[in-house]
Amino acid sequence: MGIARYDEFVITDGVDLVFPYNGDYTYRIWEQQSDTNLDPLQAHSLCEEGLANVYEIASPNNEYDTEIIHTIYE
């Protein structure tokens, strides 16, 4: 039995990749020499395969509750 391993890293949705839904995704990392190839059939070998759990991090709310005071001078 192998040793369990846990890696944590951040991928920015829309910049690095696009994840349409929260949930579990299988990822594969391929070895290759090309900087532009995205086709796994043209890669040399599979280096790693794993499970990524994707979830949305709550972003800060930019709405403010401020009391509006109207002062009328006569």
pLDDT in tens, the chain (74 residues): 667 777 777 777 666 677 788 888 888 888 888 888 878 888 888 888 888 888 777 766 666 677 777 788 87
Predicted confidence at residue 13, as pLDDT, reads 66
Predicted confidence at residue 44, as pLDDT, reads 85
| Domain limits for position 51 | 1-55
pTM recorded for the entire structure: 0.52
Looking at the domain assignment, is residue 48 inside a domain? yes
Amino acid at 14: G
Looking at the domain assignment, is residue 70 inside a domain? no
Looking at the domain assignment, is residue 68 inside a domain? no
Looking at the domain assignment, is residue 24 inside a domain? yes
Q: What's the number of domains the chain is made of?
A: 1
Cα(17)–Cα(10) distance, integer angstroms: 11
